Amino acid sequence: MSAPAINAILTLEAVEKTFHVAGEPVHALRGVDLEVTRGEYAAIIGPSGSGKSTLMNVLGCLERPSAGRYAIDGVDAAALDDDALADLRNRRIGFVFQDFHLLPRASALDNVMLPLLYRGGSRRAHRESAQTALADVGLADRESHLPMQLSGGQRQRVAIARALVGNPAILLADEPTGNLDAATARDIMDLFDRLNVRGHTIVLVTHDASIARRCRRTIRLADGRVVDDAPSTEAALRDAGSLQIAGRAC
């Protein structure tokens, strides 16, 4: 394998993940090589069961690979114990889940503040950052609402704010629009577009082709392997117009 690029944020080498169900091995990932560099905007696509979520969980340090090497931001994840891995998730990774995973009894602001609180310090110290993150996703006026009192799209915005609040090196999203209607999904994707334009590195999973086309790079999985990895044609075409998008975002 070639040496990792200087500005690589994620590097996967021959990553495998095997689950055992009732004694039978299930090979979710069968040797994945992947590199994501700073500022990238990549979509992972593939049929259901092809290993997309498993890959994301490995990228997000939520699951350890069964074999292979995985480095994030220059840190070898395999060498870390559970607590160090928790710290890595807390500081370098922002994860957005398909079904939001907000704490139901905590307000929007408290949900967003949570990753910061696990770094230590009082809520007073972190309040402002959390408010800024909520404002960034357009929910400045919903700070004290409980998840239950928000729409699906708003919940996912809270989750995105929570993923961004700690200034992670990379934003990972597993089918972030999977539980949303088409219009809301477009809003959320607009948000991701703006975040990428502002410099955030984003990897997201989708099985919606139109969403994948908005990204710069498309990684296709099938049966636990990367079968195609190319710049998204439409994204490439749109490059010329990126200034306009940037203008809208800022």
Instruction: Report if residue 118 touches another protein, rule: CB under 8 A.
Output: yes
Smallest gap from Cβ 214 to another protein, in A, equals 26
Interacting positions 47-66 with Mg ion (CB under 5 A): 53
Residue whose CB is less far from ligand ADP, 52 or 142: 52
What is the pattern of x (binds ligand ADP, CB under 6 A) and - over residues 27-66?
-x-----------------x-xxxxxxx------------
User: Nearest CA to 202 among 168, 178, 235, 240?
Assistant: 168
**Quick one: what does residue 114 bind among another protein, Mg ion, ligand ADP, none, with the CB cut-off 5 to 8 Å set by partner type?**
another protein
Q: Answer with the entry of ligand ADP, Mg ion, another protein, none that 2 interacts with (C-beta below 5 to 8 A by kind).
A: none
List C-alpha distances in Å: 199 to 98, 112, 145, 226.
23, 21, 29, 26
**Which of 37, 90, 132, 184 is close enough to bind another protein by CB under 8 A?**
90
Contacts with another protein, 48-67, as mask; x by CB under 8 A: ---------x--x-xx----
How far apart CA 87 and CA 81 sit, in angstroms, is 10
Show contacts of 14-20: CB within 8 Å, 24+ apart: 14/67, 14/68, 14/69, 15/55, 15/58, 15/65, 15/67, 15/68, 15/69, 15/70, 16/65, 16/66, 16/67, 16/68, 16/224, 17/51, 17/54, 17/58, 17/63, 17/65, 17/66, 17/224, 18/66
Helix residue ranges, H only, the chain: 52-59, 82-92, 108-117, 123-136, 152-164, 182-197, 209-214, 233-238, 242-249
Residue closer to another protein (CB basis): 126 or 214: 126
Task: Work out whether 132 is an interface residue with another protein (CB under 8 A).
Answer: no
| Residue 101 binds which entry of another protein, ligand ADP, Mg ion, none, CB below 5-8 Å type-dependent | another protein
The least distance separating ligand ADP from the CB of residue 33, rounded to whole angstroms, comes to 17
**CB nearer to another protein: pick between 74 and 121:** 121
d(CA 213, CA 240): 15
- Ranges within 152-181 binding another protein (CB under 8 A): 162
> How far is residue 136 from each of residues 114, 178, 181, measured CA to CA in Å?
17, 22, 22
Binding site for ligand ADP (CB under 6 A): 19, 21, 26, 28, 46, 48-54
Binding site for another protein (CB under 8 A): 57, 60, 62-63, 82-83, 86-87, 89-91, 95, 97, 101-103, 105, 114-115, 117-123, 162
